[in-house]
Structure 1
Amino acid sequence: MTSFATAALSRVLPPLQLGSLTVDTPVVLAPMAGVTNRAFRTLCREAGASTGHHPGVYVAEMVTSRALVERNSEALRIVTFGDDEVPRSAQVYGVDPATVGAAVRIIVSEDRADHVDLNFGCPVPKVTRKGGGGALPWKRQLFTDIVRAAVEAARPYGVPVTIKMREGIDDEHLTYLEAGTIAEGLGVAAVALHARTVAQHYSGQARWTSIARLKEAVTTVPVLGNGDIWSADDALRMVRETGADGVVVGRGCQGRPWLFADLAAAFHGETVRVRPTLRQVAETIYRHGELMIDYYRDGDTAEHAADAEGKGMRDLRKHMAWYLKGYAVGGEARRALALVSTRAELRERLDALGDAPYPGEAAEGQRGRAGTPKTPHLPYGWLDSRELDATWEAKLREAELSVSGG
């Protein structure tokens, strides 16, 4: 990788303050289901730290409050962090204030995390069709009660609570300004906005002007911007255009954990960027595989640990296309890596790739599938009122899935 010996120029932004936590680099890894487990967080954090700066905040996969309260083993695995993860950051999803409060209390009282984020932005139909995720802030009192329950549960332990949300359900049902100011008044430590609606899903362009509007409305806690950050230059441009206090990066780092080195350098006024050769990418993939095996080897049962290599390799497969984007490795090699099942196979197939220089723009830009706008899946009559009656309260509890909201 490129050396970061370049002398620092001037900081682009001051450190990010999340309650009592001071984060030197104002960059947050967004929680992504099936992606931001401990193995991938380690790669991202190591890349950011390679610049010599504290690398930021790296949030674990979203976990449902019900699963935590029921002490589901996989839910507890999601909120189990490595000894070198500082700060430890967990994201909770829930639709019942009492359950969310109880889940947050488990996290903070058992010293499982240093920061808790609440998810109000998930656009996945299996969540929104029951009123959860990005659909929930439409019911303002329910949103208020959930945020209050989480903040009050965490306050005695000094653990900051933040929220991440979308603009709203669609352009006719925007909620982000109201939700942001409500959360600010309830004592959250920061507010993050993915500048798309649920209807947009991941399509089109994120509307950074909404981040700027939220920054004008929320004045006493940091406002973080999310959406279409594919490079360090994008992050700097978002900050310039919106006044955001930091950025949240999701799909842009898939197959590119070294993006966090670029981001750390950029926010500290440095211009050097990581441009890995194919051989360097291959070594990163192999280390990712080793970390995945270690992650699954820490299972709570002997059976779980025995299949650690298989589980790790199967989980790694989804990352291959992201890692190899832009590199001329050939279809056969891509297919072989997408079917890898053992560490030995992984080593053999990566060695067969040889080496090649960084392919430039072909390796950059959008990651994953943006898809197309979608009609939001909502409960029947959900948009008829901003209020929530007893019947809806009972139905909403069904929106809490077993472990993760996806």
Structure 2
Amino acid sequence: MSELQIGPHTVSPPVVLAPMAGITNAPFRTLCREFSGGRGLFVSEMITTRALVERDAKTMRLVHFDGTEKPRSIQLYGVDPAYTGRAARMIADEDLADHIDLNFGCPVPKVTRKGGGSALPYKRNLLRAILREAVRNAGGLPVTMKMRKGIDDDHLTYLDAGRIAVEEGVTAIALHGRTAAQHYGGTADWDTIARLKEHVPEIPVLGNGDIWSADDAVRMVRETGCDGVVVGRGCLGRPWLFGDLVAAFDAAPGPPAVDAYARPALKEVAGVMLRHAELLGQWLGDERRGVVDFRKHVPWYTKGFSVGKELRHRMAMAGSLAELDDLLGTLDLDQPWPVGADGPRGRTAGRNKVVLPEGWLADPYECARVDAGAELDTSGG
């Protein structure tokens, strides 16, 4: 249970940071790696294949990795086999990364309404063509994919998609146990992760969904037989969760040592918040831009602590590191980790209906082509 093999890369513990738009940039990955001692796999934000091929300036910044990141992992979002192949070849030829992940799980309307993300696996032949071009052009780099159960409960795709992935040479599959219609609502269906593992025993299967603690991660592996876990919303405002995950998997099958899990007081959390904002400023080349970008993280870091609505709002409007530091200094920093703060974080709403191109569900084997506009301006989400 302690290792995961992704092509030539051994990932121990078998834990992957899920790509999250606007979150899993280089600064956040740095924090997560520091808490894990450099162990695990930390994936970039979603990179649009067309924007990469055209060398969009924002996209090229997003694919820059710190020299300490090994292996370097890029998640690609593509709807066109040719562009996906060109992007994979560019990554391989220019040594931009050591691993390519393909996004077929994004449920947001601006993506699904044009047939991308979690809508795309419904078109089996298009999925196969994209995977084939990615693997063929990756120059030996391992290619993995992340997907959902399907569009909704009446249009499940994960078993067909898993078999296609094996046939086209994909190295591993991550399954989020929700449909696109669920978005992030309801409860993740871990049984589908177990079914996929049984269906594609040839390659590793990673489970994703409702991992809020290290114990959840170990339990998912035990209950589903999956080969590893992908952690998304559970680490929002909690990069130290990766230290907990290392402790839990190192201790499995027994419980981790007493006090192995991080339960930081507010003083320690405040220090991480300040460092996170500082790293963002360094990455963006401007302190104010870094602090502004950090604002969305404030409610996640302070969840459960006695902070107060007004002060939380003021921190979320800070414009400099000094201002953020001063505001943090006004808190009762001796507060211990709040009871119940390990639960759901981030988005929890469902949508019930998925916005799709007209006629998308008519024929799952139709030789579909997705509107090229589906790839415009979406690097990073």
| TM-score bracket for this pair, using the shorter chain length | over 0.9
Alignment partner of 1:377: what SS?
coil
Unaligned regions of 5+ residues in structure 2, if any?
A: none
Q: Report the counterpart of residue 147 of structure 2 in structure 1.
A: 165
Q: Report the counterpart of residue 397 of structure 1 in structure 2.
A: 372
Superposed, 1:60-139 pairs within 5 Å as: 60-139=44-123
Q: Is the 8 A contact 1:93 1:405 kept in 2?
A: no
Q: Report the counterpart of residue 302 of structure 2 in structure 1.
A: 324
Whole-Å Cα distance in 2 between the matches of residues 320 and 331 of structure 1? Answer: 11
What residue identity is the alignment partner of 1:333?
L
Q: Report the counterpart of residue 282 of structure 2 in structure 1.
A: 294
Q: Is the 8 A contact 2:11 2:41 kept in 1?
A: yes
CA deviation vs aligned residue, 1:19-41 (integer Å, no higher than 9, x gap)? 11111210000000000110111
Q: Is the 8 A contact 2:81 2:133 kept in 1?
A: yes
Whole-Å Cα distance in 2 between the matches of residues 218 and 315 of structure 1? Answer: 40
Q: Calculate the aligned-residue CA RMSD, in Å.
A: 1.2
Whole-Å Cα distance in 1 between the matches of residues 371 and 72 of structure 2? Answer: 29
Whole-Å Cα distance in 1 between the matches of residues 380 and 292 of structure 2? Answer: 21
The structural deviation recorded for 1:398 is: 2.1
Alignment partner for residue 220 of structure 2, among 231, 238, 254? Answer: 238
Whole-Å Cα distance in 1 between the matches of residues 261 and 379 of structure 2? Answer: 34
Q: Report the counterpart of residue 189 of structure 2 in structure 1.
A: 207
Matched, 1:187 2:169: yes
Whole-Å Cα distance in 1 between the matches of residues 164 and 357 of structure 2? Answer: 24
TM-score (norm 1): 0.90
TM-score (norm 2): 0.96
CA deviation vs aligned residue, 1:306-355 (integer Å, no higher than 9, x gap)? xx112111110000000000111222221110101111101111122131
What residue identity is the alignment partner of 2:9?
L
Q: Is the 8 A contact 1:81 1:88 kept in 2?
A: yes
The structural deviation recorded for 1:98 is: 0.5
Unaligned regions of 5+ residues in structure 1, if any?
A: 1-12, 298-307
What residue identity is the alignment partner of 1:217?
H
Whole-Å Cα distance in 2 between the matches of residues 354 and 21 of structure 1? Answer: 44
Alignment partner of 1:268: what SS?
helix
Whole-Å Cα distance in 2 between the matches of residues 151 and 350 of structure 1? Answer: 48
Alignment partner of 1:25: what SS?
coil
Whole-Å Cα distance in 2 between the matches of residues 403 and 193 of structure 1? Answer: 22
Whole-Å Cα distance in 2 between the matches of residues 190 and 201 of structure 1? Answer: 23
Q: Give structure 1 regions of 4+ aligned residues with deviation exceeding 4 angstroms.
A: none
Whole-Å Cα distance in 1 between the matches of residues 240 and 2 of structure 2? Answer: 22
Alignment partner of 1:63: what SS?
strand
| Higher alpha-carbon deviation: 61-70 or 345-354 | 345-354
Q: Report the counterpart of residue 41 of structure 1 in structure 2.
A: 29
Q: Is the 8 A contact 2:181 2:350 kept in 1?
A: no
Q: Report the counterpart of residue 358 of structure 1 in structure 2.
A: 336
Q: Is the 8 A contact 1:47 1:261 kept in 2?
A: yes
Whole-Å Cα distance in 1 between the matches of residues 113 and 135 of structure 2? Answer: 26
Q: Percent identity?
A: 57
Q: Is the 8 A contact 2:264 2:337 kept in 1?
A: no
What residue identity is the alignment partner of 1:338?
A
